[in-house]
A and B are shown apart, each in its own frame.
Chain A
Amino acid sequence: MQNPKEEHKILIVDDEPNIVMALEYAFKKSNFQVFIARDGEEALQIAESVLPDLVLLDIMMPNVDGYQTLRKIKENQHMQHTKVVFLSAKNKHSDIQKGLDLGADKYLTKPFTVKKIIEEVKEII
């Protein structure tokens, strides 16, 4: 948190403020620069301006959902290196497959362990 140069930029997208709050605290503590969006639309705006290294993306959100957000990110030339990790309560095999087929780097399911999420994210980056 104290050394901005080493910080990776992460964008957390979820419409559940309580979940976001816990993740935000944990990632900041692990020296990530954290950005927050509450739905897909907001996420794309922020992502375009900050070009995060990784987007932690919920799927079921109002207006623009996680799948659409992922597609938009992949279409954006400036974000070709941006990794995307889904974090969703949808845990059916078909849902996971769909997420990965769309080009997500990882698919993590809720409920989760914060520590594990951070480990996975670090690994991908």
Chain B
Amino acid sequence: MGSWSVLIVLLCYLALLFALAFWAERNTANRWIKNPYVYALSLAVYCSAWTYYGSIGVAANSGIDFLTIYLGPVIALPLWMFIMTRIIKIAKNNKIASIADFVSLRYGNDRQLGALITIICIFGIVPYISLQLKAVSETFQLLSGSTQTAENIFLDTTFYISLLLAVFIAFFGTLATDASRSRRGLITTVAFESVIKLVFFLVIGSYVCFALFDGPSDIYNKAALLEGFDTLVTFNGLEHGISWFYMIMLSFLAIFLLPRQFHVAVVENEDPKYIKKAIWFFSLYLLLFNIFVFYIAFAGKLSLGTGVNQDYYSLLLPLAEGNTGLALMVFIGGFSAVISMVVVSTLALSTMVSNNLLIPYGLLDQLFQTNPETNTRYIRNVRRVSIFVLVVTAYLFYYYFSSQLSLFSLGLIAFVIIAQLAPSFFLGLFWNRGTATASKIGMIAGFAVVVFTLILPRTTLGLGSNTDFITEGYFGIAALKPFGLFGMDMLSVEAHALFWSLLVNLSLYCLFSLLIVANYRERNFGELFVHVNSVIGNDEQGYVWRGEAYVEDVKKVLNRFLGNQKTEKEFHQFYKRNGIDPNNQKADARLINFSEKLLTGTLGSVSARMLIGNVAKEHPISLQEVLNILEDTKATRASNKILTQKSKELTQLAGQLQSANDELVHQDRLKDEFLDTVAHELKTPITSIKAAAEVLVDDEGDMPSEYKENFLKNIQEDADRLQTLIGNILDLEKLSNGRQELQLEHRSVRETIQKAVRGVHQLAEKKGIQIITAEISDAMAYYDEDRVGQVLTNLLSNALKFTEAEKGKVKLKAKSESQQVKVIVEDNGQGIAEEDFQYIFEKFYQSKYQNTRKPQGSGFGLAICKKIIESHKGNIWADPDFSGGARFVFTLPIHSN
């Protein structure tokens, strides 16, 4: 295939991406663009040419090691629920545009720290980008069949491809000056490329497995006969295992810290909820990407041997078969992996370079002089120039240096360098003591260790210079061997470098954080990062600043960058939100903080702080004061919490009082009703006695003697009734108040029942009612015999009262259950009406379904029974399921408790 035809295909593909980016930028709300899957797919920018080509090379050379790079992220992803949501919350709230912004903000907007991180990232990422360009160049050559290298840069196709990419990034990456705003067009193309590279990789994998061989097992079986196969598919002892651990740790850190990953995961995140979906979707993506790696590697070894660049087996295999179409497809897939990585990395780096390096170190004064339009244009141009400079630098690095290094090893070096951000990044999220100085010292020292243990020896080896120091140690000291510091030589080179650099970095970070007392800014933001959930939403209050500033001056600064209209709008909302009088001339801490944030998106947090600092005369505050203020806000928050809690409790209490009151009113009404009923019940026999007595007294001797007798008998009867009634009332009162003392003893239930039956025997006989006591067991229970006798008598009397004369049958039963004795009194009388069940145990309740005749009794009977049984801790109820009469059941405890 001629190089021109390949180039044309490539340009067509780029044009397609331009068109897609344009369309997406116009339709940002489209559901094909704004959804969690696009977010998850954009995370797959992680899979660069290194994955697409390099993994196969690693698999062919060192076996399963290639997996570590994907295991780290898969392990990290579930933690995102916890950590990434938190990072996104902080980032969104502070308009963070890059990882340098994020970390430097944590340490009090430290200018040097932001710059240092930017430099470290450039060191790590620019060679990494150059590797991607190298992959494009080499695959381009393989495909077009040209073997000679370009005589100078201007004859090299890769140079022009790089420039095209730079144009693409510069155009779609800087549409808005606010770098914290998302770029839908760019992200959509990244997601699209993620799909392309995965699908094409799966296609070539299937082609190799099923078209060139008879399936994966065929490849495996044939490969098993190759020399050194065992070392490729197994762990080689404990050392190898430990190296694995460090490799996984490395990629674990990379998924958080690589500037391009931070960019797609945090800066471009539109909704923290997307993370949930991304966790499984991205893990699945990585899994799919790794399915065929091993087989392609083995197939390459079997068909092509080791004489070719093993990274490019996937391209060489179809080419060897003369299948150029498929090879072209593989090339486009690899190109997609390159573009997305280069685009996002360059964009992230250029933001850092402009916001953390160029603007705060030199361009700020100039910006301060001019008007908003020029400023916006100026900032945009700074970013665009940065993009071009970065891409060209990466290209130059590729052109002059990277010919000797494999994709995989340079990728790993990048990872180890970026891992130096880890202590400041992660500890800063959870520990509020960390300081900027400690962070800087840790990073510089860690980076130095990486230089000595990895970068220096690796490049020396690559360039073939004097390598004595590698075998002898630096300065001839054996303990300083770059690949085996202090005799530690069992790890792989990268694992070794990672171990020592992180150890030094972390130790120094912790040591200096403890030694140096944090200044108030560090403390302030430390608090904000560590307690993100309680502070955010409330952080306009929780910010410590003391000084003198005039609102007008601050506004002037904002006007220069945001324009008058936007500034006024933002201030209006700010005043409204915080309930501040817009006529205040002096700015307070909240306004300063708010203004800094407004500028951060455009200029980065460091420059924003410097700009506001120009017009706000800040008074130094001692740490003690900061702590006091922070404690105060914390205390206010706490007391607010307590107040809310208290008011909730009060509301609850009020509710309880209300229901208690209702209950009291109800009780009061019941008491009234009770008294009314008692009065009525007492009046009836009294009336009767009085009337009979009056008639007798007024007798003039003409009353027949049987009348006299009747009246006297009535008096006696009503007096008895009165006595019973008063006795009952007193009983009930005593039982209700718990003043009734029970004579509790172990007794035979049978005896008590028989005693009660004897008491009503006469009455039953008179009415011709049969009392059956056959089913009474020999149970013993613990009770007051007189009282329980009273209950039995009452139930028996009721039964006799409501059964028909001559036909009535009353049956008594008793049986012991686990902890209690159950006593049953049932009859074949009229039964209990359904609506009476819930009331019959209430005092004075008398069913209207009784005989038309006023029933005999006080209306206290069952109420007293209930009280007595309950005071024995038993239960009494009427069985609603019993038909053909009434059945009352009560229980008594067998043992004393």
Residues of chain A having any CB pair with chain B under 8 Å: 15-16, 18-19, 21-23, 25-26, 38-39, 41, 60-63, 89-90, 92, 110-115
Contact = CB atoms under 8 A, between A and B. Distances in A.
B680 A22 contact: no
A18 B717 contact: yes
A111 B852 contact: no
B853 A89 contact: no
Contact of B692 (A18, A60, A113): A18
B850 A62 contact: yes
B853 A15 contact: yes
Given A22-B692, A38-B852, A114-B694, 12 more contacts: A15-B854, A18-B685, A18-B691, A18-B692, A18-B718, A21-B710, A22-B695, A26-B698, A41-B852, A61-B854, A89-B684, A112-B691
Contacts of B695: 22, 25-26, 114
A21 B683 CA distance: 16
Interface string B680-712: 100111111011101100100001000100110
B854 A16 contact: yes
Contacts of B619: none
A47 to B, nearest CB: 17
A92 to B, nearest CB: 8
Interface string B839-856: 000000000101011100
A63 B687 contact: no
Contact of A89 (B683, B690, B710, B850): B683
Contacts of B852: 38-39, 41, 62-63
Given A16-B684, A21-B711, A115 B691 contact: no
A111 B698 contact: no
A60 B711 CA distance: 23
A21 B676 CA distance: 25
B8 interface: no
25 contacts: A18-B685, A18-B688, A18-B717, A19-B684, A21-B692, A22-B691, A22-B695, A22-B711, A25-B695, A25-B703, A25-B707, A38-B853, A39-B852, A41-B852, A62-B848, A62-B853, A89-B683, A90-B680, A110-B683, A111-B683, A112-B690, A113-B694, A114-B694, A114-B698, A115-B694
A93 B680 CA distance: 15
Contacts of A61: 854
Contacts of B692: 18, 21-22
Given A38-B852, A41-B852, A89 B707 contact: no
Contacts of B854: 15-16, 38, 61-62
Nearest to B714: A18
**Dominant SS at the B interface?**
helix
Contact of A112 (B687, B717, B718): B687
Contacts of A112: 687, 690-691
B477 interface: no
A1 to B, nearest CB: 11
Interface of B: 676, 679-680, 683-688, 690-692, 694-695, 698, 703, 707, 710-711, 714, 717-718, 848, 850, 852-854
Nearest to B695: A22
A101 to B, nearest CB: 20
B848 A110 contact: no
Given A18-B718, A25-B695, A60 B680 contact: yes
A25 to B, nearest CB: 6
Contacts of A19: 684, 687-688, 691
Contact of B688 (A16, A39, A63): A16
A111 B694 contact: no
A62 B856 CA distance: 13
B721 to A, nearest CB: 9
Given A18-B718, A22-B711, A89 B680 contact: yes
Contacts, number: 78
A113 B707 CA distance: 19
B685 to A, nearest CB: 8
Contacts of A22: 688, 691-692, 694-695, 711, 714
B710 A111 contact: no
A39 B850 CA distance: 13
B851 to A, nearest CB: 8
Contacts of B848: 62-63
Please give me the 7 A-B residue pairs with the lowest Cβ-Cβ distance, nearest first.
A22-B691, A18-B688, A111-B687, A15-B854, A89-B683, A18-B714, A110-B687
Contacts of B688: 16, 18-19, 22
Contacts of A115: 694, 698
A63 B852 CA distance: 7
Nearest to A64: B852
Contacts of A25: 695, 703, 707, 711
B488 to A, nearest CB: 101
B690 A21 contact: no
A62 B852 CA distance: 6
A115 B692 CA distance: 12
A19 B703 CA distance: 17
A62 B851 CA distance: 9
A16 to B, nearest CB: 6
Nearest to B684: A16
B676, B684, B710, B850: residue with the most chain A Cβ atoms closer than 10 Å: B684
A16 B717 CA distance: 12
Nearest to A113: B694
A111 B690 contact: yes
A104 to B, nearest CB: 19
Contacts of B694: 22, 26, 113-115
Contacts of A26: 691, 694-695, 698
Contacts of B687: 16, 19, 89, 110-112
A66 B852 CA distance: 14
Contacts of B698: 26, 114-115
B813 to A, nearest CB: 32
A24 B691 CA distance: 11
Contacts of A111: 683, 686-687, 690-691
A98 B97 CA distance: 84
A23 B695 CA distance: 9
Nearest to B686: A111
A93 to B, nearest CB: 13
B718 A89 contact: no
B845 to A, nearest CB: 13
Nearest to A42: B852
Contacts of B684: 16, 19, 89, 110
A122 B495 CA distance: 122
B679 A89 contact: yes
B70 to A, nearest CB: 88
Contacts of B707: 25
A99 B685 CA distance: 23
A115 B710 CA distance: 20
B776 to A, nearest CB: 36
Contacts of A90: 676, 680
A63 B687 CA distance: 22
Nearest to B855: A62
A61 B710 CA distance: 24
B58 to A, nearest CB: 99
Contacts of B683: 89, 110-111
Nearest to A38: B853
B564 to A, nearest CB: 78
A82 to B, nearest CB: 23
A39 B854 CA distance: 9
A63 B849 CA distance: 9
Nearest to B847: A62
Contacts of B680: 60, 89-90
Contacts of A16: 684, 687-688, 854
Nearest to B853: A38
A21 B686 CA distance: 14
